[in-house]
């Protein structure tokens, strides 16, 4: 097991190239199960989570090879429809194979998912949606077993709360259903748009991309597709926040600024200078100007609102501000686990239910300490805090980081940070 060491106090300067989006790659890899043949996915990040879902495809009988950032996946010979607990326990997105397997083969058995400890995140949205198609679902011995005799039947599915994985899973099942399916109050995240582009490239008929209502006219069969994974907006946001916390000028390249409207507004409101290009964003907050960093309230919401996956990182930044702010988490019920670790570094944070009140202590308010990562995005908040803190920060359990950030140490080092890994 490894830990990450961060020597704080160095401004960040330079450019960083953003990798493909983890949260887009996972459903697109799962979607290759819908059609036999060789699919080509470009700009696929090499992460613990992408390796896990590829191992899952191995278990089902698919074959694949990687050439740099390009994956070639052949799903012609799917031999199994059961996914074991050993794989699913490490990553919640494993549940995304349910929809494709049901659509293509009419049956699937998948262990109840695991992943980050940020709340229960029940899969009732998925199961309720599948049952609307005529699927029979059973939950026994820790597995979801889904089966239909014949073809899925088009239906209308309403999501009480916009669910990203729920929308993706039901969407992938619907493309091979008989008749028309309408998804209402569907999630609108850019990653879902990337999935729709792939499905349309496979021959699916889908209207409503980017809206909360999707209309899917089922087709008899699909063919392999070639698609590029969109840039990771959460990775881009993390480096921009890191630049503001450490001070300096950071440019994120190969990103899509239109996917980060709420974050860019909040960074500008906090006092950073944000310059938006066609495929880049530059954040400038000189070290001498960090004294003017303002406390800014945020409320996490479904896209295009402020993303929950950038809440912990922004909280780390706000501990360095001058003033007070309130951070309200409305997506997950247990996503303040990083608060205790930030307090170990000197942060003044008080939690009340799903609200966190942060009293900034200025740019010199944090000091290095041994801390422990509790989930993927909490891990990156501790890295950000360490970059701004005096002295050394040691972050344990960094395998969480490796689930979602490609070449993090190399990218931060390229910006001038003093960061490395050691054996724990």
Was 309 annotated as part of a binding site?
A: yes
Place of tokens 């613990």: 48
β-pairing verdict for 156-158 and 180-184: parallel
Asked if residue 348 belongs to a known ligand binding site, the reply is no
Instruction: Tell me which residue of 282, 356, 273, 265 sits closest to 318, measured CA to CA.
Output: 356
CB 265 within 8 A of CB 64: no
- Per the annotation, does 22 bind a ligand? yes
Q: DSSP assignment of 117-173, as one string? A: SS-----HHHHHHHHHTT-EEEEETTEEEEE-SS--B--EEE-SS--HHHHHHHHHH
Tell me the angle at which helices 48-60 and 22-31 cross, rounded to the nearest 10 degrees.
10
Chain length of the chain: 424
CA-to-CA distance for 226 and 112, rounded, in angstroms?
A: 30
Active site residue 116: yes
Buried b (16+ CB within 10 A) or exposed e, 197-236: bbbbebbbebeeeeeeebebebeeebebbebbbbbbbbbb
225: left (phi over 0), alpha (psi -120 to 50) or beta: beta
User: CB-based contacts of 392: which residues, under 8 Å, 6+ apart?
Assistant: 5, 6, 7, 8, 368
Residue ranges for the known binding site for phosphoenolpyruvate are 22-23
Catalytic residues: 116
Residue ranges for the known binding site are 22-23, 92, 309, 331
Residue ranges for the known binding site for UDP-N-acetyl-alpha-D-glucosamine are 92, 309, 331
């Amino acid at each position: 097991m490894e830990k990450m060491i961060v020597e704080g106090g160095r401004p960040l300067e330079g450019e960083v190239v953003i990798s493909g989006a983890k949260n887009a790659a996972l459903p697109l890899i799962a979607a290759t199960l819908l059609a036999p043949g060789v699919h080509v996915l470009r700009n696929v990040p090499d992460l613990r989570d992408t390796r896990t879902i590829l191992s899952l495809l191995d278990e089902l009988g698919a074959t694949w090879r990687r050439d740099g950032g390009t994956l070639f996946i052949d799903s012609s010979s799917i031999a199994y429809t059961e996914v074991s607990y050993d794989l699913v326990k490490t990553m919640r997105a494993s549940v995304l194979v349910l929809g494709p397997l049901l659509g293509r083969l009419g049956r699937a058995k998948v262990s109840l998912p695991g992943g980050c400890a940020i709340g229960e995140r029940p899969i009732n949205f998925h199961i309720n949606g599948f049952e609307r198609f005529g699927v029979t679902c059973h939950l026994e011995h820790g597995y979801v077993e889904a089966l239909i005799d014949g073809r899925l039947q088009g239906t209308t599915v309403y999501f009480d709360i916009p669910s990203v994985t729920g929308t993706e899973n039901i969407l992938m099942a619907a493309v091979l259903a008989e008749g028309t399916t309408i998804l209402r109050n569907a999630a609108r995240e850019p990653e879902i748009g990337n999935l729709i582009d792939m499905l349309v490239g496979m021959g699916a008929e889908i209207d409503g991309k980017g809206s909360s209502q999707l209309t899917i006219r089922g087709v008899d069969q699909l063919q392999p597709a070639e698609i590029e994974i969109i840039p990771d907006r959460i990775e881009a946001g993390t480096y921009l926040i890191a630049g503001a916390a450490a001070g300096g000028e950071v440019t994120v390249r190969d990103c899509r600024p239109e996917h980060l409207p709420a974050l860019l507004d909040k960074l500008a409101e906090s006092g950073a200078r944000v310059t938006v290009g066609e495929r880049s964003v530059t954040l400038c907050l000189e070290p001498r100007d960090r004294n003017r960093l303002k406390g800014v309230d945020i409320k996490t919401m479904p896209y295009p609102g402020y993303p929950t996956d950038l809440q912990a990182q922004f909280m780390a930044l706000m501990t360095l501000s001058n003033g007070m702010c309130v951070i309200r988490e409305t997506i997950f019920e247990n996503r303040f686990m990083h608060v205790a670790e930030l307090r170990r570094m000197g942060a003044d944070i008080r939690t009340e239910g799903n609200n966190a009140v942060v009293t900034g202590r200025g740019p010199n308010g944090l000091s290095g300490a041994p801390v422990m990562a509790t989930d993927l995005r909490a891990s990156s908040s501790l890295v950000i805090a360490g970059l701004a803190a005096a002295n050394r920060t040691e972050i344990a359990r960094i395998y969480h980081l490796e689930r979602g950030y490609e070449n993090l140490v190399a990218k931060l080092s390229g910006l001038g940070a003093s960061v490395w890994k050691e054996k724990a």
